[in-house]
Amino acid sequence: MPHPTLPWLGTSLGFVLFLDMGNVFTTASEIWPSFLRIHQPNQAACKVLNSSQPDGTPITPPTGGEACRFDYFSYAPGLGLRYTTPIGTIRVDFSYNLNPPIYPVTCCSTNPAIPFPSYVGQAPHFNFFFSVGQSF
């Protein structure tokens, strides 16, 4: 289906509105129970950076022992511009992630003299995509 065109600019330049949603699941059986879940479950557990205290005692997450979970769908509405060229369509998309995931980043350095600091990360709300060619 051709994209809507912008007045006074001809048929080479157009725009699209879209809603992107998705996630990556370990097994297919996790998809349907997560389909209507729009918020990351148990975000407090995702903010726990260490799995053990300095004396080796395990740290129990503040949520009663649940692990950080990502079994939900992330949604991002957006606006895209399309410019048709002889080699293909140039696409520029802007989106806003409504529910970006929070995740702990912990790692061990291969050099003990240079430790890798642990931190809590979060995916950005604003996203920008540039591509050449039609989407599939």
Task: Tell me, yes or no, whether 6 lies in a domain.
Answer: no
Q: What percent of the chain has pLDDT over 70?
A: 78
Q: What are phi and psi of 21, to 5 degrees?
A: -145, 150
Task: Tell me, yes or no, whether 7 lies in a domain.
Answer: no
Domain containing 91: what range? 13-132
Q: Which pLDDT belongs to residue 8?
A: 64
Q: Which pLDDT belongs to residue 95?
A: 96
Report how many domains make up the chain: 1
**Alpha helix ranges (H) inside the chain:** 31-34
pLDDT digits (tens, 9 = 90+) for 66-114: 678 888 999 999 999 988 888 888 999 999 999 999 888 877 667 777 7
Q: Which pLDDT belongs to residue 13?
A: 84
Task: Tell me, yes or no, whether 90 lies in a domain.
Answer: yes
Task: Tell me, yes or no, whether 77 lies in a domain.
Answer: yes
Mean pLDDT of 35-45: 84
Task: Tell me, yes or no, whether 49 lies in a domain.
Answer: yes
Task: Tell me, yes or no, whether 79 lies in a domain.
Answer: yes
Q: Which pLDDT belongs to residue 80?
A: 93
Quote the mean pLDDT of the chain: 80
3-state SS, residue 45: helix
Q: Which pLDDT belongs to residue 93?
A: 94
> Minimal CA–CA distance to 84: which of 1, 8, 7, 10?
10
Task: Tell me, yes or no, whether 115 lies in a domain.
Answer: yes
Task: Tell me, yes or no, whether 41 lies in a domain.
Answer: yes
